[in-house]
Each structure stands twice: as structure tokens, then as C-alpha cells.
Structure 1
Amino acid sequence: MQTMEQSLNELRSSFASGRTRSVAWRKQQLRAVLKLIHDHEDEIFNALHQDLGKHPVEAYRDEIGVIEKSASLSLSSLETWMAPKKGKLPLLFYPAKGEVLPEPLGVVLIFTAWNFPISLGLDPVVGAISAGNAVILKPSELAPACSSFLARTIPLYLDPETIKVINGGPDVCERLLQLKFDKIFFTGSQRVGRIVMQAAAKHLTPVTLELGGKCPTILDTFTNAHDMKIAIKRIVGGKWGPCCGQVCLGIDYVLVEEKSASTLIKLLKEFIQIFYGENPKHSDSISRIVNKDHFERLRNLLRDPRVADSIVHGGSIDEGKLYMEPTILLDPPLDAQIMTEEIFGPLLPIITLKKIKESIEFINSRPKPLAIYAFTNDEAFRKQIISETSSGSVVFNDVLVQFLCDVLPFGGVGQSGIGRYHGKYSFDTFSHEKAVMQRSFFPELEARNPPWNDFKLQFIKLAFKFDYFGLLLLLLGMKRVGKVL
């Protein structure tokens, strides 16, 4: 078995040979990713059920389908993405031409998250391959069936001399971070993100950090009962549908006017029952908590008596089955842990306000979230949310759908993340845009060189200020400078 250092050295040699730069190699690997997920669809379903209790429909929607869409888009767009982009140079530089050439960064390290262990592992790999990099993938040890699957199958489908999987726990992560990479891509918690960034700083390694935060949902008062019902239906699907709320993009809490709170709670309960039955514990459509540590963390959020008193629905648990009922809380204390830490589970606080526009001040008083969801038909309020708040993304009248839209960048801001990916943005994340400029030896602009004089100063000022006169200035400057000298 290779050591980490040996694996890294082999990847560096392979990258240095140029094999990852060709269109043919990139397409071959992307087709291999597609073949891997198609050949092993049932095995992926089983692994996701074993690790997280995901139903095959949820597993396909959030995992396999995401990778199929991502790899297919890259395959069809690769030549366009790789093509140099011409730069329109100022006339002052005539005759010359410029272009921006995307080139691979080198050997990249990708850390995956446990809540979407297949899609959050392979999707960045698709981006890194598309950009022509060699890759080390470190799956999360908290999803052991999925990490074992990736370690076993990736070498059978993808080029093992350029793409490697290294499994293990925190000690393996720590050792990997001591090595020098050309890029680190991390998906996970803010706490671990800080560790990754600190380690990367030792080598000045660029990082993309896909973290999380407390994503708020603003629910405006609707005069149309249908719109209100659809909004709350989407809130239920977005909160408890993907991975039982264990989602960085998931709804953390809802902001609503006091007068609408009772309607919100009533409809939340109705849709929970429609989606998951009278007793969600027996439903196969809701995932379970990933492990006992996270289960205990969530239970501790409810042990605060002030928080327990705010529960208006749910609250039951089954530690043996790692089950926690969809739970609704009304106005828990804002200084309680449930309102200061990312919940990452099936608990939904509702915070009431006198006026819904107070939600902007409420959100701005807290760290910048990964996403803001707002249900409203008020166009002026939409513009106000966009202009007066900061977040990784804003979605109106729906939740989570931005993650599936490859033409939009996905990423955070502030504590919710650094960098972005998805579609072309993934290609860009794993590429360096190299500026290339070519000039002729004639003509030579003497005004650029000493000895300095007043004419040269005025010439340079005009050249910077009036670029469209650049060619004329160049010719006149050559003639004038020749006389002055």
C-alpha cells in the first residue's frame, strides 16, 4: 500500500507528464464517472440507506442525479470551457494580441461531507477533472459505507495514477493537511473549515470552503391562501425532506409575522403528516440522524428548559434508531444554543415579528448565511432583501433549488464559505486563468523609457486618459520623441 507521500508523488509525476491536460483524458474520466454511477446505482442506494437511511428516490434526486447532470454538462461543454478567451487590448499596445488561457492548478485535495457522501464527493471531482487536475479524494469517515464504496470503485473506473481515494479518520485528514497541494476543496463545518484554512496557509495553498450557517426563511403574509399553502408545503419539503434537515443549505429557522404564526404551525403539521404519515418514525421517506454524537448534540439543544417549553409539535426521539421526530418550536430564546448554532437536524424554530420587514434587521444582526429563502409577492420587499442583506444565495418562493441549477454559482460568503462551484464555476474553481500577451518588436514607443522630460509625462498622461487615441499617440510620440532626443 502506498503512503500518502508516495501517492502524492505519483500524482505529481502524472500531472507533470501532461496526461491530465488533454481533452481526451478529461472526457474519458468524465465518461468513467457516469459509467460508475450507472453500473452501481443499486449499490449506491444501499450504501446511502446504510449510512443515513435515505430512500432510493431521495438518494437519486440528491446524489446520483446530481452527478449525472454535472458530468454530462461538463462533457458537453468541455471544449468551450477550455478555449482561450480573447482580450480586447488598448490601441496603445498595437500591434499585439491578448487572451486568457485556463490551465489546471495541479494536484488538488478534496474533502467530502457525510450528509451527501456521493454527490458532495464526486461533484467536485468532476470539476477538478474537467479542469485537468490530478486528485486526492478524502471521503468522510462518518459515512463508512459510502466512503468504502468510493475507495473500492473509483480505482476500477478512473485513472488510478491521477485520481486516488484515501480513507480514514481525523488523523488521516491531519496528515494530508501537512502535505503541499495546489488547491484544497473542503465541504463541512465552520470549525473544521478553520483548521483546513490554517493548515493551507502554511503552504499558501488556495482553498475553497463550502461551509454552512443558519439559513433563514422569511414567510410574508399572503392574502392568497393557495400561495401560503404552497409556500409552507415547500418549507416542509426543504426542512425535513433532504437528509432529515442535516443540510448546510437547509432551513434553519422561519421568520413570520405574529398574526400568521398560527396558520404557519397548522399547515406545517398538516404537511408533515401528508409527507411522513401519522407517525414519521415508521416512514421510509425520512432519513435518520447520522450517528450517536450528532444525535446527542441535537438532543442537547432541546434540554434547555426554555427551549423545551417552546415546542409546539414533535419532540419525540428514539436513540436506538437514531430517530428524531420533525419538531416545531415557537419563539425559543434567541440566546439559546438552538438560535446561536447551526441546527443541522429536524428542529425548526419559528421566530415571530411585529412586521415582516423587521426580518432584514434580524438577519443582518447575525453572521452571513449560506442562503436566504423568502416567500413573498411583494416586489419592493424582494428588492430590499437583495440590496440590504448579504448571503451566498437568495431564493424567492422556493428552497434548495439553487443547488441543482448549474448555471448559477454555489458558495458562501463570510463565515458561510469561500469560493464557489457547480457547472462552469467548478471548472473555474479548479483552473488558473493565465493572461497571455504577444507583442511585435515594431514599433518601439520611446516615451516609455528614460531619460524623462515634460513631453513624456504629458504623453503618458494622455495615453492613459484617452485610450482610443492610443494608436495616434503612439505614432506621433515616436516621431516627437525622436526629435526631442
Structure 2
Amino acid sequence: MTHIASPAPDADLQARFQAQRRAFAADSFPDAATRRDRLERIKRLVEENEQRFASAICADFGNRSRHETMIAETFFVLAGISHTRRHLAGWMKKRRVGTSFHSLPGRSWILPQPLGVVGVVSPWNYPLQLALAPAVAALAAGNRVMIKPSEITPRLSQLLAELVGAAFRPDECTVLTGDAELGKAFVRLPFDHLFFTGSTAVGRQVALAAAANLTPVTLELGGKSPAIVDDSADLADSAHKIAAGKLFNAGQTCIAPDYVLVPAGKQQAFADAYAQAVGELYPTLERNPDYTSIVNGRHHARLQTLIDDARAAGARVIEVNPGGEPQEPAARRMRPHLLLQVDSAMAVMREEIFGPLLPVVPYDTAAQALAFVNERPRPLALYWFGRERSRAEQVLRATISGGVTINDVLLHIAQENLPFGGVGDSGIGAYHGEWGFRLFSKEKPVFEQSRLARTAMLRPPFGAKASSVVKALKRLL
């Protein structure tokens, strides 16, 4: 049995933070070779322990598809490291920028400088990816990193702590395991940047704690991400892609489609196509290694409450069970559910679902669909399906969301050249690729005066010459 470490005491938390502070002060601008070495150690750690990570996550969930872990956790992290290593030298260079005409022949540039000590608070749904991806960006930018993983996935958290502890000195990168009380103490530390992934409600608390230290924060939150099926879309293809994205990790994904908008009169056709897609993707559910369990009993009960509440309020609930299997409660393999005839007052339409439940909402016009989205808090992701490019452009201009995938779901997160982050209730800030490097850097502006400068004409004592110089400069604006 895996030993679960007791929470790190507050004194240990402070000691590790101060050690990282001292280490950064001694080497506040590590060279490219040092940064690449740190990235290489993360790479080896992931490559050499891929199966151990998969086993730990599977045990924490009850069942977690090993292929899902391979795709969304280990491959994702390795792809990010590869992209970062290729571009790191270019990102580190100072960038020459234009100098205002009145300050010529001086020179201006921007120097990306490490911030210091970065704190990362990661969630349980993708416990490896969402701990290491921001850490990779922070290490590439030259920072020291402290990671607080979720207590809901204790086996993965403990394994990560052991492996990071073996690969890094505590003053370089360290993992602290513990409960919510440790998490509260962690976010109160005066980090130079604090990165949090989790719910909007907890994100607000994290922002308040960080504000006491004026610590800048990045909040990767959630929200109710819509999928809009246009009447020009291939309904069967759209339903299949939405089902695949919705049921990846059993819906326990921050950018999973949270509800789908379909043209009025096509709700049943969509439901039929979705059910068929589920059967193709998961012919069985109960003991299918590809179908992930709900992470624990509390979350399973929460999802069941959403179903019961919607049914009691008049929703038509369709349970999709391709193999006709009886439920094994201990396995927590929640059946995919479609919810039709929903209304905005239902909890399933107000709360982020984070499970395999999908409300289907009809709309009469494209304008009505856009209004439905815009009446709600800004989502982390938005998905649009259709063949009319002009309608896609209309949706892009008329809605505000963290990111968009057109004619598929989830895939914008996997593009290293695109920023990933939320907006409004779905988050603050963005990372991935160069965006992550910039996030964890201070873009220091530098101006170098020339020996040929004539700024003395604009120094006291002022007189007629200064006035004429200012007038001349104004004419050049």
C-alpha cells in the first residue's frame, strides 16, 4: 500500500519558501543551460515514471483510463517541454523596440527577467498535467517553484513529491503534500507569482489571500462552456465529437462542454446521435478500462443530486447505458446522461457540472443562441459546429470566452502557440508556450541614453530655448 505522507507543517512550508528565496537571490538570472537542465530533469521524471503516474492516478480515481492519462497528462507535459526547449534561447533574448523620436539616438529594449519564487496550486482532475505544465513555464523563465497538489488525489501527490524531491534540490523545485489547511497557508505566502487551477469559488479566496501580499495571481478556473450546433452542421458528426470531449475523463474537465445549444426541433435527433456515439465510444461502461470513474463518493453524490433536481423540476432525463449493465455503486462509473427540457433555474444549468451530464437547450435563431451564452458568466471555452464561415465569425465577434475550438472540442488547449486561460469568472491570465514564459517573467523596460543626447536643453533653469524646443517637438507629434 502506498504510504500517504502527513501534511507538511507550517514551519516546513516557511523553511522551504525561505530556502527558495535565498537560492534565487544567489542566482537571480540563471543561464539557458541551467534552465534547460531543469526542464530535462522534469522530462526524464515524466518519461521514466509514466506507468507509475498512471497507476497512482488510476488508484486515486478508482479507475482512470491509462490512455487518457497518457494523452492528457504525460504527453501533454512532454510536448510542452519539447516546445519550450526549442524556443527558450529566443524567448530569453532582450527584444529591441523602437525609441520615441524625441529621445533619439537613445536605445530601448525589453529584458525578460525571472520573478523569483512561484507558487503552483494544482487540482485533482488532471493532477500531473496541471501541476507540471505551469511549473515547466516557471522554471523556463528562471524561477524557483513550489507546488501544492490536491489532497483528493493523494497517491499521485505523494509520488510526485517523492520524484521531484529526488530530481531537484528543495530550493529549486519542491512539492508539498497536505490537506486544505496547508493549502490555505500556502496561498498566504508572499510569492512573486501565484498560479491556481480550480473552482471559481476557491479562486476568489485565493485571490483575496494573495492580495494581502500584493502577489500577482493567475487563476485558471472553470465555468459553463457551451457548444453551439448551427443548423448548417453535420448533426451526427457534431454529436460524436461532443460526446468524445464530454466523456473524456468522465466529464471531469474544466473545458468540457457543459451544455449544448441545438436548433429547435433537433433536440431528439441530437440526443439519438449522441447516444449512438456513446455506444461506439464505450460499448460497455461498468468494467471498461477506457471509461473513467468519478473521483470520489462526494462528487458522485453531487452529480446524482443534479440529476434528481433536474428531473424533479421537469427535465426529461435520458440515461445512456449501451451495454444495459447494472450499476455497481462502488465503481462510481456514472452513466452518461442527457437532460432535455431544462430551464435556467435548475442547478444543472447554474453550476459547473464536472461530470458526464449534458443539458440540451433548443434555440430558434442564431441571435437567440448568442444571447443565451452572453446572459451567463463568461465561459472558459466555447465550441461552435457548422459549415458557414460567416456564422462562425459572427460567434467569435459576439461572444467572449477563454478560448474557442471550431468543429471540435477541447483541442485549443493543445496548441502550444496559443495562450490558454479564462476571462471574467473563468479566470485571470493565460499560459502555455511563450505565453507561459512571459507570464512568469518581468518584462523589464530599459532605455539607454546616448552620449549625443541633447536633453540638457530641457533641464532647469528653463527659458525661451526650452519653450521653443517643446513647441518644435509638439509640431512633430
Kindly name which structure, 1 or 2, has the bigger radius of gyration based on alpha carbons.
1
The answer to whether 1:33 aligns with 2:42 is: yes
Within the candidate set 189, 198, 212, 1:179 is matched to 189
Within the candidate set 22, 42, 53, 1:44 is matched to 53
| Residue of structure 2 equivalent to 1:191 | 201
Within the candidate set 227, 238, 241, 1:231 is matched to 238
User: Deviation string for 1:296-327 (max 9, x for gaps)?
Assistant: 11111122243574202349864322221000
Q: Taking structure 1 as reference, are residues 10 and 269 closer, same or farther at Cα in structure 2, changes over 3 Å only?
A: same
- The alignment covers a number of residue pairs equal to 462
- Return the letter of the residue paired with 1:407: N
| Residue of structure 2 equivalent to 1:297 | 302
- 1:178-327 mapped onto 2 (5 Å cutoff): 178-222=188-232, 227-241=234-248, 243-277=249-283, 279-304=284-309, 305-307=311-313, 309-314=315-320, 318-327=328-337
TM-score by length of 1: 0.91
| Residue of structure 1 equivalent to 2:447 | 437
The answer to whether 1:56 aligns with 2:63 is: no
Q: Quote the offset at 1:440 in angstroms.
A: 2.5
| Residue of structure 2 equivalent to 1:397 | 407
| Residue of structure 2 equivalent to 1:479 | none
Q: Taking structure 1 as reference, are residues 237 and 465 closer, same or farther at Cα in structure 2, changes over 3 Å only?
A: farther
Give the percent of matched residue pairs that are identical in Structure 1 and Structure 2: 33
Q: Taking structure 1 as reference, are residues 444 and 56 closer, same or farther at Cα in structure 2, changes over 3 Å only?
A: same
Q: Quote the offset at 1:90 in angstroms.
A: 2.3
**Equivalent pair of 1:20/1:26 in contact (CA under 8 Å):** no
Q: 1:95 aligns to what SS in structure 2?
A: coil
Q: CA RMSD in A?
A: 1.8
Q: Quote the offset at 1:159 in angstroms.
A: 3.4
Q: Taking structure 1 as reference, are residues 98 and 20 closer, same or farther at Cα in structure 2, changes over 3 Å only?
A: closer
- Measured in 2, the distance between the counterparts of 1:464 and 1:381 equals 46
- Return the letter of the residue paired with 1:113: P
Q: Quote the offset at 1:221 in angstroms.
A: 1.6
- Return the letter of the residue paired with 1:4: L
The answer to whether 1:8 aligns with 2:17 is: yes
**Equivalent pair of 1:50/1:145 in contact (CA under 8 Å):** yes
- Return the letter of the residue paired with 2:37: Q
User: Deviation string for 1:52-108 (max 9, x for gaps)?
Assistant: 222221111100000110111111111101000001112321221111000011001
- 1:81-480 mapped onto 2 (5 Å cutoff): 81-222=91-232, 227-241=234-248, 243-277=249-283, 279-304=284-309, 305-307=311-313, 309-314=315-320, 318-452=328-462, 456-457=466-467, 459-464=469-474, 466=476
Q: Taking structure 1 as reference, are residues 158 and 307 closer, same or farther at Cα in structure 2, changes over 3 Å only?
A: farther
Instruction: Mark the runs of 5 or more structure 1 residues left unpaired by the alignment.
Output: 468-485
Q: Taking structure 1 as reference, are residues 151 and 228 closer, same or farther at Cα in structure 2, changes over 3 Å only?
A: same
Q: Taking structure 1 as reference, are residues 465 and 133 closer, same or farther at Cα in structure 2, changes over 3 Å only?
A: farther
Instruction: Mark the runs of 5 or more structure 2 residues left unpaired by the alignment.
Output: 1-7
User: Deviation string for 1:130-168 (max 9, x for gaps)?
Assistant: 000001000111111110110110111233321111110
Q: Quote the offset at 1:434 in angstroms.
A: 0.1
**Equivalent pair of 2:107/2:450 in contact (CA under 8 Å):** no
Q: 1:324 aligns to what SS in structure 2?
A: coil
User: Deviation string for 1:445-477 (max 9, x for gaps)?
Assistant: 34423455576446425425525xxxxxxxxxx
Q: 2:162 aligns to what SS in structure 1?
A: helix
Q: Quote the offset at 1:340 in angstroms.
A: 0.6
- Measured in 2, the distance between the counterparts of 1:417 and 1:465 equals 44
**Equivalent pair of 2:20/2:170 in contact (CA under 8 Å):** no
- Measured in 2, the distance between the counterparts of 1:71 and 1:458 equals 56
Q: 2:304 aligns to what SS in structure 1?
A: helix
- Measured in 2, the distance between the counterparts of 1:296 and 1:350 equals 22
- Measured in 2, the distance between the counterparts of 1:234 and 1:454 equals 73
- Return the letter of the residue paired with 2:105: P
Q: Taking structure 1 as reference, are residues 317 and 97 closer, same or farther at Cα in structure 2, changes over 3 Å only?
A: farther
Of 198-207 and 313-322, deviating more is 313-322
Q: Taking structure 1 as reference, are residues 247 and 450 closer, same or farther at Cα in structure 2, changes over 3 Å only?
A: same
Q: Quote the offset at 1:116 in angstroms.
A: 0.3
**Equivalent pair of 1:357/1:381 in contact (CA under 8 Å):** no
**Equivalent pair of 2:291/2:333 in contact (CA under 8 Å):** no
Q: Taking structure 1 as reference, are residues 462 and 351 closer, same or farther at Cα in structure 2, changes over 3 Å only?
A: farther
